[in-house]
């Protein structure tokens, strides 16, 4: 292991503990870490910006490929940045209108074709999967129907409709429960990941000099 790596791991471990100090309470170390993180990440994004957008899409396109059409979006892009100057902020609307409008148009048929129709198609499929499969499909049909009723705002939730929407709410709760369990899992995974770093790389790897 090189000196560089050892220093790096010590720094990383220190920063990890600094962020963990938030558990105790919001303190200066955490704030320091948070601001450091912000600065580092913005510095990183600027690089990504430069190497992955300006160089290939603007510089290379114009200088190497002589593709002067790329000048138009570049100018529109500069308009976007003018939003920071109040008197010229209105120029940015042009650029936003261009791509937000265009993507709105792109989204309608694509979302219908790629998401809405396949999901609807699958819901309406004929029952042909054996009795267990059919039963499951019936449950799905019921679930989709009642959940849509729950999010249907043109009918008062009374009597039958109320009952149906309550079934829908129950489906939603089961789904949210699943999502709840999974979210807990995600957060713990991250903690496990950090502890793996602290124990394997820092304590075992650097302090006790064991392993690779």
Partner 1 sequence: MLFFKRQWPIIVAFVCGIVMWARYYIPTEQSQTLQDEFVRWARILFGFAAMLGILSLLHHHWNKIKFKRPGYGFSWITLVAFVIMALTGLLPISWQWIGFAESFRDLDGPHMYLFEYMFVPMQATMFSVLAFFIASAGFRAFRARSVEATALLVAGCIIMIGRVPVGDLITSGWTASIGGTDYSILPFAQVTDWLLNIPNAAAQRGIILGVILSQIAIAVRIIFGIERTYMGGGD
Partner 2 sequence: MDFVNTILNLDRRVIYTIVGLLVAIPLIWPFSLPVIPTPETRGIYNAMDALPPGSHVMIAADFDPASKPELLPMLEALLAHCFIKDLKPHLLTLWPSGPGLAQQAIERQAEKYGKESGTDWCFLGFRYGTVAVILGMTSSITDTFVTDFYGKATSSMPIYERVSDIADMDYLVDIAAGATVEYWVVYAAEPEGVPMGASCTAVSATSYYPLLQAGQITGLSGGMKGTAEYEVLLREEYGQSFNIPTGDATKGMDAQSAVHVFIVLSIIIANICYFISLRREREERRKA
Partner 3 sequence: MRKMLLIAGLAALAVVVPTLAAAEVPVPIETEVIDVPNDDGSALGVLWFWDGDAGLDIRVTVEADVTRDELDSYQLTVDETDLLQRAREELADRLGPILPDLYEATTQAAELQLRLRAAESEGNPDAASIRQEYWQQQRRATRLGRQRDKLWEWFEGRLRRPGGDYIFERAQTFDYLTATLDHSNWVPLAEVSGIGATLEEGVITWSPKSEAVERFGHHPYEPDKVYYAVGTYRALNPGMLSGSYTNEPDEIDYTAPRTITLNLEQGRTYNLRLVVERMQMDGDEWYTDENDRPVVLESATFDLGGGAPRVNFFNGAYFNNLIFAVGFAVIILIAIMLARRNPNMFIRRISGLEAVDEAIGRATEMGKPVLYLCGLDSLATLSTLAAINILGRVARRIADYDSDLVVPNRDPVVLTVAQEVVREAYIDQGRPDAYKEDNIFFVTDDQFSFTATTCAIMMRERPAANFFMGYYYAESLLLAETGASTGAIQIAGTDALHQLPFFITTCDYTLIGEELYAASAYLSREPMLLGSLKGQDLGKALIMVLIIIQTLLFAIHAVIALSNPGILQQSWDWLKLLVEPL
Nearest approach, Cβ of residue 31 and partner 2 (Å): 19
Stretch of 4-12, 80-88, 109-117, 145-153 contacting partner 2, by CB under 8 A:
109-117
By the rule CB under 8 A, 195 interacts with partner 2: yes
Torsion, Cα of 82, 84, 90, 96 (10° steps): 70
Nearest approach, Cβ of residue 25 and partner 3 (Å): 7
Q: Which of residues 81-100 bind partner 1 (CB under 8 A)?
A: 81, 83-84, 86, 89-90, 92-100
* Contact flags string 159-178 toward partner 2, x per CB under 8 A: ----------------x--x
Q: Are 197 and 15 in contact (CB under 8 A)?
A: no
Distance CA 156, CA 7 (A): 65
Distance CA 203, CA 10 (A): 10
Pick between residue 50 and residue 152 the one whose CB is nearest to partner 2: 50
Q: Are 92 and 79 in contact (CB under 8 A)?
A: yes
Of how many residues is the chain composed?
A: 212
By the rule CB under 8 A, 127 interacts with partner 1: no
By the rule CB under 8 A, 121 interacts with partner 2: yes
Q: Are 22 and 30 in contact (CB under 8 A)?
A: yes
By the rule CB under 8 A, 70 interacts with partner 1: yes
Nearest approach, Cβ of residue 152 and partner 1 (Å): 9
Q: Are 184 and 164 in contact (CB under 8 A)?
A: no
**According to CB under 8 A, which one of 75, 88, 108, 191 is a site residue for partner 3?**
108
Integer angstrom CA distances of residue 180 from 48, 103, 138: 34, 33, 25
Q: H or E element: which one contains 130?
A: helix 130-150
Integer angstrom CA distances of residue 60 from 21, 48, 73, 182: 46, 16, 14, 44
Distance CA 150, CA 169 (A): 7
Residues that bind partner 2 (CB under 8 A): 23, 41, 44-45, 48-49, 52-53, 56-57, 60-61, 103, 106, 110-111, 113-115, 118-119, 121-122, 140, 175, 178-179, 182-186, 188-196, 199-200
Residues that bind partner 3 (CB under 8 A): 22, 25-26, 30-31, 34, 38, 63-68, 108-109, 112-114, 116-118, 120-121, 123-124, 126-127, 141, 144-145, 148-149, 151-157, 172-173, 176-177, 179-180, 183
């Amino acid at each position: 292991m090189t000196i560089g790596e050892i220093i790096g791991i010590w720094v990383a471990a220190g920063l990890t503990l600094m962020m963990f100090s938030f558990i105790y309470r919001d303190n200066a170390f955490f704030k320091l870490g948070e601001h450091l993180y912000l600065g580092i990440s913005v510095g990183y994004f600027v690089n990504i910006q430069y190497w992955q957008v300006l160089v290939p899409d603007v510089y290379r396109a114009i200088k190497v490929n002589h593709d002067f059409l790329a000048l138009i979006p570049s100018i529109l892009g500069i308009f976007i940045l003018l939003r920071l100057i109040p008197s010229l902020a209105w120029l940015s609307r042009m650029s936003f209108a261009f791509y937000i409008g265009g993507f709105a148009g792109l989204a309608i048929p694509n979302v219908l074709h790629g998401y809405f129709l396949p999901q609807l198609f699958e819901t309406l499929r004929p029952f042909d999967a054996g009795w267990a499969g059919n039963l499951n499909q019936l449950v799905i049909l019921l679930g989709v129907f009642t959940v849509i009723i729950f999010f249907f705002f043109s009918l008062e939730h009374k009597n039958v409709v109320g009952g149906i929407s309550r079934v829908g709410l129950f489906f939603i709760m089961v789904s949210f429960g699943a999502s709840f369990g999974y979210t807990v899992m995600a957060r713990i995974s991250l903690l496990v990941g950090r502890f793996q770093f602290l124990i394997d790389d820092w304590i075992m790897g650097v302090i006790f000099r064991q392993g690779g």
